[in-house]
Each structure stands twice: as structure tokens, then as C-alpha cells.
Structure 1
Amino acid sequence: MLLLVLTSVVAALLLVDAAVRSGLVNTLLLAPWPLLVVWCVYVVGLASDVRADERGVQVQNLLRRIEIPWSRVQRIAMRWQLEITLVDDAVVSCFGGPSRTRARRLAPGRVKEEGVAETDDGIAAMKRLRANAAGSVDADARVQRTWDWPALTALAVLVVWAAVAVAVTR
């Protein structure tokens, strides 16, 4: 998130500087390039996410979205990243998502802090959601794979804008 904010601030400062020094038309011709950098930082650093609820788990890896109902989940495990094994033995690796909580080192004479136990572990929370939903899930539900259409639309606009800027300046 911090990198996205910093990138956005730098892009805004560059565009304001371009507007002050060379005018609005040149700024519009330069704008797609720093905005493409901001878009890339967003997609790589922030868009990937894992959300779980009583219906299932929603995974977004870069621009790909996967909705997995609990009835299709065979195993939830942590390897290098969160991995969800489906009943057909397909594995969905999650780029963003929960991680195991590390045990904290304590100084001599101190007691273990509350709130760092298994109950706060993101993977344990997902397993609890899955266990709680075991009786109420639809056995015929399917895994749905879609794209992040808003991000792809923004990319298409920026690419067309960049192509127009190149065509105008050549």
C-alpha cells in the first residue's frame, strides 16, 4: 500500500510539473506513462488478495479471480504461499493472503501475549470457516474463474491513450 501511495504521489508531482512547465496538452501526452507505472504497482502489489466467508474463498492473483465454494476445497495448506487444493486435485496458489502467525520471542520473566495464538492465524480462520460451512454448502457449486475487468478496462484505456500520444508526437 505504501509503495502505491508513493508511486501515485510521484506520478502526480511529475504531471503537475509537466503542466506548469509545458502546458496541459503536453501533460496529456505524457500522462499515460506514469499512470501505467501506477497501474502496474497496483496490480502487482495490491490487487492480489484472498477473502473467505461462509460460502467459500475468493482468490485474486494479479488480474485473475477465482471463486471457490467450500464444497470444492479438499485442503488448505501453507507452503511458500497459501495453497488451496481442490477436489479434482488442482492446486490454486494464492499470491496474496493470510500467513501463519510467528511465535514471538519473550524476554525473561515475561508471559506470552494474548491475541497471538492459533485463533488469530489466518489459515486457521479459513479452516474454521470451511468446517462451519460443511453442512450448508451446495455440493453442485462450481469453481468460477473470471478476470478483474475494472483493472483490465483501466489498462486498455491507458494503452489506447499511450498509443494516441505516440501517434500525435511522431
Structure 2
Amino acid sequence: MALLVICSVLSAVMLIDAAVRADVGTALLLAPWMLLVLWFVYVVGVASRVRAQRDGVFVQNLLRTTFAPWARVQRIDMRWQIEIALDDGSRLTCFGGPSRRRPQRLGPGRTKEDANGDADDAVAALRRAKANAESVSPVPPIRRGWDIPAVVALLAIVAWAVIAVLVTRG
């Protein structure tokens, strides 16, 4: 999230500078390229997440979204990232969750540090949410889809970039 804020501020400063030094039209021709970078930072760094809900778990990996009712979740494990085994045989790797880090080396006089505390807490929270979930009959299906707002934003930015290229080449 901090990287997105820093990139947003830098983009705004550069666009304001372009508008002041050249004109607003030039800034509008430069804007889609900066917005494309911001979109990429958002999708890779912010949008991916894992969220436990009362009736299931919601996972977003980049642009793909999956909602699995708790009854469909077979197992929740931690390998390098949180992995959820579903009853249809598929495994859902959660890019947006905490990840297991390499154990840290210990120097003289240092004590062992728990490098995976956050990851273990997230897995335990998901397991508690599953254990506390009420059983629903019939069991709803697993829903997979796309992050529609992010895809629409990408299409708008690409259209704007195409227009900017056509205006500058024309």
C-alpha cells in the first residue's frame, strides 16, 4: 500500500509539472502511461488478499477472485503461502496472504526469532473461522470470477493510451 501511495504522489507531481511547464494537453497525453504503472502496482501489490467471512473465504489473486463456502474447504495449510484445498480437488494458493520467510541467521548472543508468526496467525484465524462457521444445506458452489472494476480500469487506461498515441502520431 505504501508503494502505491508513493507512486501516486510521484505521478501527480510529474503530471502537475508537465501541465505547468508545457500545457494541460501534454499532461493528458502523458497521464495514461503513469496510470498504467499505478494500475500495475495496485493489482500486484494491493488487490491480492485473503478475507475470512462468516459464510466462506474470499481470495483475490491479481485479477482472479474466488469465493469458497466453508463447507467446500477441506484443508488450510501454509507452505510458502496460504494454500486452501477445496473439495473439488483444486488447491487455491493465496498470493495476498502472509508468506513463510526463510529462517533468519543468528549471530553470537542472539536468540531464535519466530520469523513466521504472522503467517501462522493468519492460518489459525482462517481455521477458527471455518470451525465457527454454521453448516448450510445445500452447500453453495465455489464462485470464481474476475475483478471487474480493475479490468474495466485497465480497458479505459489502454483506450486512453491508444488515443494518446494516435494524437501524437497524427
Question: How far is 1:140 from its partner?
Answer: 2.4
Secondary structure, aligned partner of 2:67? strand
Q: Which residue of 2 aligns with 1:111?
A: none
Q: Name the Cα RMSD after superposition.
A: 2.6
Alignment of 1:93-104 (within 5 A): 93-98=93-98
Query: What is the rounded CA distance, in whole Å, between the counterparts of 2:65 and 2:95 in structure 1?
Result: 11
Q: Which residue of 2 aligns with 1:86?
A: 86
Instruction: Confirm or deny: 8 A CA contact 1:71 1:138 kept in the other structure.
Output: no
Matched, 1:169 2:165: no
Query: What is the rounded CA distance, in whole Å, between the counterparts of 1:58 and 1:153 in structure 2?
Result: 21
Counterpart of 1:33, as a letter, is W
Question: How far is 1:54 from its partner?
Answer: 1.7
Counterpart of 2:58, as a letter, is Q
Question: How far is 1:88 from its partner?
Answer: 1.8
Query: What is the rounded CA distance, in whole Å, between the counterparts of 2:147 and 2:118 in structure 1?
Result: 35
Number of matched pairs: 161
Alpha-carbon displacement from aligned partner over 1:60-115 (angstroms, at most 9, x marks no partner): 00011100000110000000101000012210111012457xxxx9xx9xxxxxxx
Counterpart of 1:158, as a letter, is I
Counterpart of 2:141, as a letter, is R
Name the TM-score, length of structure 1 as normaliser. Answer: 0.85
Alignment of 1:46-65 (within 5 A): 46-65=46-65
Greater than 4 Å deviation, 4+ residue runs: none
Query: What is the rounded CA distance, in whole Å, between the counterparts of 1:44 and 1:117 in structure 2?
Result: 20
Alignment of 1:1-170 (within 5 A): 1-98=1-98, 121-133=121-133, 135-170=134-169
Q: Which residue of 1 aligns with 2:114?
A: none
Secondary structure, aligned partner of 2:45? helix
The alpha-carbon distance between structure 1 residues 138 and 17, as it changes in their structure 2 partners (threshold 3 A), is farther
Task: Note the residue ranges of structure 2 that are not aligned, 5 or more in a row.
Answer: 101-105, 110-116
Name the TM-score, length of structure 2 as normaliser. Answer: 0.85
Task: Note the residue ranges of structure 1 that are not aligned, 5 or more in a row.
Answer: 109-115
Instruction: Confirm or deny: 8 A CA contact 1:50 1:98 kept in the other structure.
Output: no
Identity of aligned residues (%): 57
